[in-house]
Chain A
Amino acid sequence: MTIENLQENLIEDFSFFDDWTQKYEYMIELSKTLDKMDESLKNDENLIKGCQSKVWLNADFKDGKINFIADSEAIITKGIIAILLMVFNNKTPDEIIKSDVSFIEKIGLKEHLSPNRANGLYSMIKQIKFYAIAYNKK
């Protein structure tokens, strides 16, 4: 599926929720689906700065696609990571660079985009795009 299709699916999934509790419960569920990140990868190099809860993001480039693995101390942040990885994992750098991230707003998580929330969503997206730009040159 393309990044755009995956984003549309997510927007549809989230549109069924009546209130924020269902949305948060879904994110908490999603957080449990994340692949376990090896402790050795939770190093300073993979640490995303500026987040209130620690967030680690590791990227590997294989067969033309980027494989991301990430983790956080906070469960809601982990849920957000899960959403991002559902969209961006195993995609080519070119697809990632060209992708639009307005789906975050459309699934009603705009508040997490505010720099004040310091939960790392903003920095995570930036980091994902950085990796894509870096690998695109290879």
Chain B
Amino acid sequence: MKFDVKNIREDFPILKKQINGKQLIYFDNAATSQTPTCVINSISNYYNNYNSNIHRGVHSLSEEATEAYEKARKNIQIHFNAKHKEEIIFTSGTTHSINIVSNGFLDLIGENDEIIVSGLEHHSNIVPWQMMCKKTNSKLKVIPLDKNGELDLKEFKNLVSKKTKLVFLNHVSNALGIINPIEEIIQISHSYNALVLIDGAQSAAHFKIDLQKLNVDFFTASAHKLCGPTGVGFLYGKKELLEKIEPFMGGGEMISDVTFEKTTYAEIPHKFEAGTPNISGVIAFGVALDYMNNLGFENIRQYEDKLLKYATEKLKEIDGLIIYGDVKNKTSVISFNISGIHSYDIGSILDKYGVAVRTGQHCAQPIMDHFDIPGTVRVSLSFINTFEEIDILQEAIIKAKSMLS
């Protein structure tokens, strides 16, 4: 199939929007991806035609909704190549997923244990572990970054030991777009019997992930970075691990037997899905994955690589522009500053030209501290963007620079 961006853009109604009298140029895809019509329609179709609660009703509508919900689980299992369908737990997103694991291990971690996180993490993959370490008196260790912002694997090998129980890191850094060597980290961690959780929030939209091949213990991603709706994501865990850990949210749906003396939890995945879930969101997540698979992840990757290369060259033409994390192995994210100018000022002026970027610390203060900067301007490209938009971005940055210097 030919990858025709002009046609693809027709699937995204929001791209016709004007911002400050200019055509919207959306370069904040790493914060949330835009939504194609088929996904939007699946949500309204749900509410128009089969809105009802799942797993319990005996009536036809409930059966229809349950079937669609479970079909989405199957979709996700197949796409990410999990061994069992019940290894896919629906959550409200990666933050929720991470908290299920960090709370689930509270009883299994003690004061002599150590937890390792990477220095490239989003706050959502730092704070839950700090909370866990505080409660269990275990130690939190951090894999440092080298001068380019890549993880220092040599240091990781020094940090990991028989005391290490869990290792957490993102697949791709949200602030810099750097792809971490997760295969190697998983292998090394496993040789010490440490379990690994990979936060795939920033990777799942850019390439296909094979969970069984990775042999990762836990993995999570959010639908809204994959053309799906906000407020939905999933946690993958190896079956035997999910069966071992305790759920931290109690409620309906997650039980098999309740008396005032004792509750028996339901089997996985329901054990972790307390309460009525985001049914339409989960179904739409499945539709979004179908949409992206139809475009082809290989095609998406190739096109985004071309965009990244072009944008990097174009931005490097601008005097005084510094790119952070400008390494070989990265996704289509460019994090930059212009010397002497605050990222907030650049972002405010770009907005006036209709260009949406993210500015600031990107919820990753330790990375900003590493480079000793208050923040960056982050341009995150996706397959809905064009080379012409990058030209407009370059012009807008040059204009902003001349206004602000």
Contact = CB atoms under 8 A, between A and B. Distances in A.
B349 A75 contact: no
B404 interface: yes
Interface stretch (A6-14, A21-29, A82-90, A95-103): A21-29
Contact of B404 (A52, A53, A73, A75): A75
Interface in B316-356: 341-345, 348-349, 352
A25 B404 CA distance: 9
Interface of A: 20-21, 24-25, 28, 52-54, 73-77, 117-119
Question: Nearest 7 A-B pairs (CB), nearest first?
Answer: A74-B342, A74-B344, A53-B344, A52-B360, A74-B345, A52-B344, A76-B345
Contacts of A52: 343-344, 359-360, 375
B327 to A, nearest CB: 26
Given A20-B20, A24-B349, A117-B348, 6 more contacts: A28-B403, A52-B360, A53-B374, A77-B342, A118-B360, A119-B344
Contacts of A53: 342, 344-345, 374
A25 B403 contact: yes
Interface band, chain B: 10 to 19
B359 A24 contact: no
29 contacts: A20-B20, A20-B352, A21-B403, A24-B349, A24-B352, A24-B403, A28-B403, A52-B343, A52-B344, A52-B359, A52-B360, A52-B375, A53-B342, A53-B344, A53-B345, A54-B374, A74-B342, A75-B341, A75-B342, A75-B345, A75-B404, A76-B344, A77-B342, A77-B344, A77-B345, A117-B348, A118-B360, A119-B344, A119-B348
B348 A76 contact: yes
Contacts of A21: 352, 403
Contacts of B404: 28, 75
A25 B400 CA distance: 11
A28 B343 CA distance: 15
Contacts of A77: 342, 344-345
A24 B404 CA distance: 10
A73 B342 CA distance: 7
Interface string B13-29: 00000001000000000
Interface in B375-405: 375, 403-404
A52 B374 CA distance: 9
Interface in B32-63: none
A28 B345 CA distance: 10
Highest count of chain B CB atoms <10 Å: which of A24, A74, A118: A74
B3 to A, nearest CB: 34
A28 B402 CA distance: 12
